Amino acid sequence: MEYIKSDKTDECIFCTLPSSSNDDKNYVLYKGAHSFVVMNIFPYNCAHLMVSPYSHIGCITKINESEKNEVTQLTHECINILKIAIEPDGFNIGYNIGKAAGAGYDEHIHCHIVPRWSGDTNFMPVLGEVRVHPEHLRATYEKLHPHFKNLTL
Protein backbone atom coordinates (compact mmCIF):
# COMPACT_ATOMS: atom_id res chain seq x y z
CA MET A 1 0.00 0.00 0.00
CA GLU A 2 2.90 2.35 0.71
CA TYR A 3 3.95 2.15 -2.94
CA ILE A 4 0.41 2.30 -4.33
CA LYS A 5 -0.46 5.41 -2.31
CA SER A 6 2.85 7.19 -2.91
CA ASP A 7 3.17 10.14 -5.28
CA LYS A 8 4.35 8.96 -8.69
CA THR A 9 6.70 10.90 -10.88
CA ASP A 10 7.35 10.86 -14.61
CA GLU A 11 11.09 10.58 -13.93
CA CYS A 12 12.85 7.40 -14.92
CA ILE A 13 13.72 5.57 -11.69
CA PHE A 14 16.59 3.82 -13.45
CA CYS A 15 18.16 7.23 -14.08
CA THR A 16 17.34 8.92 -10.77
CA LEU A 17 17.95 6.10 -8.26
CA PRO A 18 21.64 5.49 -8.97
CA SER A 19 22.42 9.21 -8.81
CA SER A 20 20.78 9.51 -5.37
CA SER A 21 22.97 9.24 -2.29
CA ASN A 22 20.30 7.40 -0.30
CA ASP A 23 20.76 3.80 -1.42
CA ASP A 24 19.16 2.38 1.75
CA LYS A 25 15.93 4.34 1.25
CA ASN A 26 15.83 3.47 -2.45
CA TYR A 27 16.66 -0.23 -1.96
CA VAL A 28 19.74 0.04 -4.18
CA LEU A 29 21.91 -2.95 -3.32
CA TYR A 30 24.93 -2.39 -5.56
CA LYS A 31 26.40 0.23 -7.90
CA GLY A 32 28.93 -0.91 -10.47
CA ALA A 33 30.87 0.98 -13.11
CA HIS A 34 28.16 0.61 -15.79
CA SER A 35 25.07 -0.74 -14.02
CA PHE A 36 23.37 -1.25 -10.67
CA VAL A 37 21.14 -3.64 -8.69
CA VAL A 38 17.91 -2.48 -7.07
CA MET A 39 15.05 -4.27 -5.36
CA ASN A 40 11.69 -4.02 -7.07
CA ILE A 41 9.48 -2.06 -4.64
CA PHE A 42 6.37 -3.50 -6.28
CA PRO A 43 7.68 -7.08 -6.52
CA TYR A 44 6.21 -10.08 -8.22
CA ASN A 45 7.73 -12.21 -5.47
CA CYS A 46 9.88 -11.77 -2.36
CA ALA A 47 13.44 -10.52 -3.17
CA HIS A 48 12.56 -9.55 -6.76
CA LEU A 49 15.69 -7.76 -8.01
CA MET A 50 16.43 -5.70 -11.11
CA VAL A 51 19.76 -5.07 -12.83
CA SER A 52 19.92 -1.98 -15.03
CA PRO A 53 22.60 -0.16 -16.97
CA TYR A 54 22.99 3.52 -16.14
CA SER A 55 22.42 4.37 -19.82
CA HIS A 56 18.86 5.39 -20.65
CA ILE A 57 18.20 2.93 -23.48
CA GLY A 58 15.02 1.08 -24.34
CA CYS A 59 16.26 -2.16 -25.90
CA ILE A 60 19.01 -4.64 -25.12
CA THR A 61 20.17 -4.38 -28.73
CA LYS A 62 21.37 -0.82 -27.94
CA ILE A 63 23.54 -1.78 -24.93
CA ASN A 64 27.31 -1.41 -25.36
CA GLU A 65 29.79 -4.21 -24.67
CA SER A 66 30.90 -2.95 -21.22
CA GLU A 67 27.31 -2.53 -20.06
CA LYS A 68 26.32 -5.92 -21.47
CA ASN A 69 29.18 -7.66 -19.68
CA GLU A 70 28.47 -6.00 -16.33
CA VAL A 71 24.69 -6.49 -16.48
CA THR A 72 25.23 -10.17 -17.29
CA GLN A 73 27.83 -10.57 -14.53
CA LEU A 74 25.60 -8.80 -12.00
CA THR A 75 22.64 -10.99 -12.98
CA HIS A 76 24.79 -14.06 -12.28
CA GLU A 77 25.93 -12.60 -8.94
CA CYS A 78 22.33 -11.83 -7.97
CA ILE A 79 21.40 -15.46 -8.57
CA ASN A 80 24.37 -16.66 -6.47
CA ILE A 81 23.54 -14.27 -3.62
CA LEU A 82 19.84 -15.14 -3.64
CA LYS A 83 20.68 -18.86 -3.57
CA ILE A 84 22.72 -18.28 -0.40
CA ALA A 85 20.54 -15.67 1.32
CA ILE A 86 17.01 -16.96 0.72
CA GLU A 87 17.37 -20.41 -0.90
CA PRO A 88 14.73 -20.27 -3.64
CA ASP A 89 13.79 -23.35 -5.66
CA GLY A 90 14.24 -21.55 -8.99
CA PHE A 91 14.22 -18.21 -10.82
CA ASN A 92 12.43 -16.30 -13.55
CA ILE A 93 14.88 -14.00 -15.31
CA GLY A 94 14.23 -11.65 -18.19
CA TYR A 95 13.45 -8.31 -19.79
CA ASN A 96 10.11 -6.72 -20.66
CA ILE A 97 10.90 -4.68 -23.76
CA GLY A 98 8.13 -2.25 -24.71
CA LYS A 99 4.80 -1.40 -23.06
CA ALA A 100 3.05 -4.24 -24.89
CA ALA A 101 5.45 -6.68 -23.19
CA GLY A 102 4.60 -5.31 -19.75
CA ALA A 103 7.47 -2.88 -19.24
CA GLY A 104 6.62 -0.32 -16.58
CA TYR A 105 9.62 1.75 -17.69
CA ASP A 106 9.80 0.94 -21.37
CA GLU A 107 12.47 3.52 -22.21
CA HIS A 108 15.12 2.12 -19.82
CA ILE A 109 15.93 -1.58 -19.94
CA HIS A 110 16.35 -3.63 -16.80
CA CYS A 111 16.71 -7.33 -16.16
CA HIS A 112 14.31 -8.90 -13.66
CA ILE A 113 15.55 -11.63 -11.32
CA VAL A 114 12.55 -13.19 -9.59
CA PRO A 115 13.17 -15.94 -7.02
CA ARG A 116 10.57 -18.72 -7.11
CA TRP A 117 9.55 -21.46 -4.71
CA SER A 118 7.55 -24.57 -5.47
CA GLY A 119 3.95 -23.69 -4.69
CA ASP A 120 4.61 -19.94 -4.31
CA THR A 121 1.44 -19.03 -6.17
CA ASN A 122 -1.87 -19.21 -4.34
CA PHE A 123 -5.47 -18.10 -4.67
CA MET A 124 -4.82 -14.45 -3.65
CA PRO A 125 -3.81 -13.17 -7.13
CA VAL A 126 -6.75 -14.99 -8.70
CA LEU A 127 -9.50 -13.97 -6.27
CA GLY A 128 -8.22 -10.81 -4.64
CA GLU A 129 -5.92 -9.42 -7.33
CA VAL A 130 -3.20 -9.03 -4.65
CA ARG A 131 0.08 -10.74 -3.90
CA VAL A 132 1.13 -11.98 -0.49
CA HIS A 133 4.79 -11.66 0.51
CA PRO A 134 6.09 -13.49 3.57
CA GLU A 135 8.62 -10.80 4.41
CA HIS A 136 8.60 -6.99 4.47
CA LEU A 137 10.64 -5.32 1.73
CA ARG A 138 12.94 -3.65 4.32
CA ALA A 139 13.66 -7.01 6.03
CA THR A 140 14.58 -8.55 2.67
CA TYR A 141 16.85 -5.58 1.87
CA GLU A 142 18.63 -5.97 5.23
CA LYS A 143 19.13 -9.67 4.53
CA LEU A 144 20.57 -9.13 1.03
CA HIS A 145 22.56 -5.90 1.47
CA PRO A 146 25.53 -7.44 3.35
CA HIS A 147 26.10 -9.85 0.44
CA PHE A 148 26.18 -7.02 -2.10
CA LYS A 149 28.31 -4.82 0.16
CA ASN A 150 31.22 -7.24 -0.29
CA LEU A 151 30.65 -7.81 -4.00
CA THR A 152 33.54 -6.96 -6.30
CA LEU A 153 33.37 -7.35 -10.08
Clarify whether 108 is annotated catalytic.
no
Catalytic residue among 48, 110, 133, 145: 110
- 116-125 CB contacts, 8 Å cutoff, 24+ apart: 116/45, 116/88, 116/89, 116/90, 116/91, 116/92, 117/88, 117/89, 117/90, 118/89, 120/45
Answer for the pair 48, 112: CB distance below 8 angstroms, yes or no.
yes
Task: In whole angstroms, give the CA distance from residue 97 to residue 55.
Answer: 15
Alpha helices in 1-152, H assignment, sequence order: 2-5, 13-19, 23-26, 65-85, 124-127, 137-149
What is the end-to-end Cα distance of the chain in Å, rounded?
36
Q: Which residues are catalytic?
A: 110
